[in-house]
Amino acid sequence: MDIRERLKPFTEKNDRLGALALFPTFGVYFISLYLAITQVDNFLVLVPMMVLNAFSAVRLYVLQHDCGHASLFKSRKHNDWAGEALSVLTFAPYAAMRHNHNLHHSHLGNLDHRDTGEIHTMTLREWNAASPWQRLQYRLYRNPFILIPVGSLFTYFIRYRWPKNAGEMAGSVIVHNIAIAAYMAGLYLLFGWTGVLIWFLSSFIGGMIGVFMVYLQHNFEDTYWDRRPDLDPRIAALQGSSALDLGWWMDLGSANIAYHDIHHYNARIPHYNLRKAHQEIREEYELRTIHWPEALRSFRLKLWDEDQGRLVPFPKGAPVATPAE
């Protein structure tokens, strides 16, 4: 059976499952944040609650992402309402996030449209042709000890205040930022600067988890990049997106978005069906799964080698001259 037909049953939306995913996660988010703030002097409570709050924020972001694909609930109206409400806690303006993420899906694996990807990847040829300053910038950018924490701060706290392609959605972005300011003001009025600081640190941790996951979704050795007309969107979806088996607790904390190959192949599949869909067809279609050791090693891979068709580390020694593309 064609893989599209095999995946079709998993596209069915279930409002009960959507609500069971959404409202308890809201509850965990607010309860963990409250306990972290009110138990700030108790390290044994503070740290676990901050981590729990961070993961609940990641889950809320994935649920908002589902809403952007109109896959959390049956009704588009309900998806949009939920997406707008979630945007205050995820710091991602809903309409702009939805638009830019759909562009990412449209151009996945396309070397001529890398601007739609979340993390920039340079080709080996571009690296060899780059100036020393450009290479230094890219080395710093792809360093995980810079990429993850700085990426978290920049993306969620700065870039999302006015995301790219937001011109036609200026009104919604402004309203979104006002809502966030009101949320911060409420935290300050209730808990003072301690509340704001604990929220910021928890959100920063959540942002780092998010950047970590986003990197692994498309940056691994046997990923897929090509140029049109040779680019095959089906291969880009299944081979250019990872299936991360990092354990049940990571699947729970990230709302199954780790099964990114299935998501990219059919974005209409809700998060609550992704894990099951992948597990049921994994052996039948020989889908590759990445576990923790390979996931961590993937951070050594920096450049797309068009000749070998794989992601490679930085070359040792001086850059080698290559023909212009």
Long-range contacts of 180-188 (CB under 8 A, 24+ apart): 180/88, 180/91, 183/88, 183/89
Percentage with pLDDT > 70 across the chain: 97
Please give the DSSP secondary-structure letter assigned to residue 300. G
**The pLDDT value given to residue 324:** 47
Long-range contacts of 282-290 (CB under 8 A, 24+ apart): 282/243, 284/6, 285/3, 285/6, 285/238, 287/238, 287/243, 287/261, 288/222, 288/239, 288/243, 289/243, 289/244, 289/245, 290/216, 290/220, 290/242, 290/243, 290/244, 290/245
Measure the CA–CA gap between 72 and 314, rounded to whole angstroms: 40
How far from the centroid of its chain's Cα atoms is residue 166's Cα? 19
H helix or E strand, kind and range, residue 268 = none
Task: Print pLDDT tens along the chain (325 aa).
Answer: 689 999 999 999 999 999 999 999 999 999 999 999 999 999 999 999 999 999 999 999 999 999 999 999 999 999 999 999 999 999 999 999 999 999 999 999 999 999 887 899 999 999 999 999 999 999 999 999 999 999 999 999 999 999 999 988 999 999 999 999 999 999 999 999 999 999 999 999 999 999 999 999 999 999 999 999 999 999 999 999 999 999 999 999 999 999 999 999 999 999 999 999 999 999 898 898 999 999 999 999 999 999 999 999 999 875 555 554 4
Measure the CA–CA gap between 255 and 278, rounded to whole angstroms: 14
Burial class (CB in 10 A: 0-12, 13-18, 19+), 307: exposed
The answer to whether residues 176 and 88 touch, using CB atoms and an 8 Å cutoff, is: yes
- Number of Cβ atoms within 10 Å of the Cβ of 223: 21
The count of residues in the chain is 325
**The pLDDT value given to residue 325:** 45
Measure the CA–CA gap between 65 and 314, rounded to whole angstroms: 33
Q: Could you tell me the two tokens for 77?
A: 């109206």
How far from the centroid of its chain's Cα atoms is residue 260's Cα? 10
